[in-house]
Structure 1
Amino acid sequence: MSTNTNAKFILIVDDNPTNLSVLSEALRGAGFRFRVAMDGESALTLVERNHPELILLDVEMPGIDGFETCRRLKQNPATKSIPIIFTTALADTESKTKGFTLGAVDYIPKPFEQDEVIARVKVHMQLKHLTEYLEEQVRDRTTALQNAQVQLVQQEKLSSLGEMIAGIGHELNNPINFILNNIEPLQEYITEISEILDLYQQENATPSPKLKNVLKDLDLEFVREDMAKILESFRLGTEMIKNISTSLRTFSRSDSETKSLANLHECLDSTLMILQHRLKSKGERPQIEVLKSYGLLPSVLCYPGQVNQVFMNILANAIDALDEAIVQGKLHARVPKIKITTQITSEERIVIQIADNGIGIPQPIQGRLFEPMFTTKPLGKGTGLGLAIAYQIIVDKHNGTLSINSQVGEGTVFMIEIPVENI
């Protein structure tokens, strides 16, 4: 018998030395590794330390009998898949039915026929290996299907979102330019008319009674001052709309088959501009304060549209977390905040941290956040694909990392890290 504690082995559980000897000789002759236990308690302790590939388990033993030992093994998620073959002199149907009900895969009657023992062991070892192989294939195919689904959803969302936003940006651009291009000549016309009015007043110092009444009702001086203010407000308003249009077009830029250089600060700002309506105060929730701590970053070789989608998913989740904190009365601080920090490391890697002071995420959930179809949001409010897509974009498409650090009651930090030269 091998003494390698990590090698695969068969466990024999029997309190009879003769039975142990017969089974040991049979397994040794067939080239199997094995270990022995004299009772159920010892078997459970041994299995807990090192899982056997198969167990030959005697039914009638002092203390914990074979049926109880089997029941405990099958109740344990870590050991329930180990095949158990009962070895027993009990031949009644009731005993066999009980064993199969508890999860045994076979019975070997006593006294033992060594050839039969080896034949049954080989069959069940082959079945176990085949089952493990099939389970591995199912896991691989499931993972492949999930990844394919994430990619399809990602492409569809990028395409539809990009087309919609690009269309809005384009439609806004023409009227905005029209207004901006006409403000300056309108300003000149108003200036010229004001000069004519001044000349007219100088040359006609005594207006007629009718004109006096009209000027008094109009309050000409106030109107002239107010027109200048209105024009300036037009200019500021159209500049703001133009900035929104630029942000929309920056956010929705379509990705080609090759990466392009992008300013990540522009990507972040364009995403924040699009989410501006969600940052404003709403009901009992005050306006979300966005703090920026931008480092000096070089342009990054990336897929800008996909990176924008990552920023959109993470920032939208941060806003959701702050909304939920207000609803639950658990906001960490009086003012809801999102802090965005960027820097470049000595290894030429860009690090972006997006932090909120919301309710935080429990530790058991953090490990599943990037799994496809996993969501903590109520039915109908989350697909479970947003962060899975973000993870795939950063890790698979940009050779980076996406991680989370969260403390319940304190808040959450998402950290994105990608290389500058992302080839």
Structure 2
Amino acid sequence: MPIGTESCESCCRRGEQIMSEGDARDNILIVDDSPDNLRVLGEMLRARGYRVRTAVSGEHALESVRASLPDLILLDIRMPGMNGFDVCRTLKADPSLQNIPILFLSAVAGTDSKIEAFASGGVDYITKPFQAEEVLSRIDTHLTLSMLRTRLEEQVKERTAALVQSQEDLRSLASKLRRLGAHSLASEENERKRLARDLHDLVGQNLTVLGIAIQRLAAKCVTEEARSILDDAQTLLYETVERVHNVMSELRPPVLDDYGIASAIRWYAEQFAERTGLPITVEGVDLSGHLDANVETALYRVTQEAVTNIVRHAQASKADINVTSDQKAVRIVISDDGIGFDPDHIREPGSAGGWGHIGMRERIELIGGSLSIESARGRGTRVVMEVPL
């Protein structure tokens, strides 16, 4: 029985009109156990310029596909041995073959057969006898869809590769920025040390010599007016010495280098409470000798910033600093009983306090630690720093 209602000759004539000489189209595999069906379909497709391969059984079809991938398969269902459904399921189970579009050709028009065809992975179902133009139109449609899917997958791969490269570039840039930030902070601390040392060695010593000279001169004064002038000068000198000592401590407190972070935090809290009137309680362990100098410096500077923020923004009546350590990490918690705030708001650099909190977090992250801020309006604030040992 012929498989098409349109003559092969008519189809061939139209195919010759649309094909340019030497043009080659997609490769189609026809699988059918009927030589007549293979011949008619083959002639129809070749007339449209398709390259045609044939297979007379399911087993032969699998061998042909694995030898060379076709662009599309026309697959009969009822064949001796391996039927079309089994062939389709076998192909769809192989990741390297599963994207080949499969069109079923069958004389069976029942719904169950069509359901199984699509369930096994087919993209279309054509019932025999058929119109040649219908078959060609469906083939063109599915080849176009396959081409578009392939292009889309290629674009996805290209964009994914570009995204991966962009992420690598961003990671590289972030790493460079971290190194630059660490170098900048180290340079800043070194400059602080140098300035503090110069103030101590040069200005401090000169002020001391000047004070001794004023005392000796005052002892020789014979008039009350001269003695009063020297007393005023000595008072101003003492105030200057005190101010220089304060500047030296702000630049680089000697207690940090001499006794470690816990002692430095206690000293700073006492000095800060005396200047501002904010009671600060410090509790914690002695960490001297346990931490790298860069780690101690970062923890101290962030503690300074956090305590300063309490006075600037918190409207707190007291603050607490707790320093703890175990075998894995050192942890510093700075808390207050102030008005609190919305932590999400400070993530915006332009917001009040935003840059300060961002800088605190970045400074702790540069030494491999983490910083979190817990707060709510009316419930105070907790700044938690944790650095692995």
Q: Structure 2-normalised TM-score? A: 0.49
Q: Higher relative contact order by CA 8 Å / sep ≥ 6: 1 or 2?
A: 1
Question: Which one has a larger percent helix, Structure 1 or Structure 2?
Answer: 2
Give the greater-gyration-radius structure (CA): 2
Q: Structure 1-normalised TM-score? A: 0.46
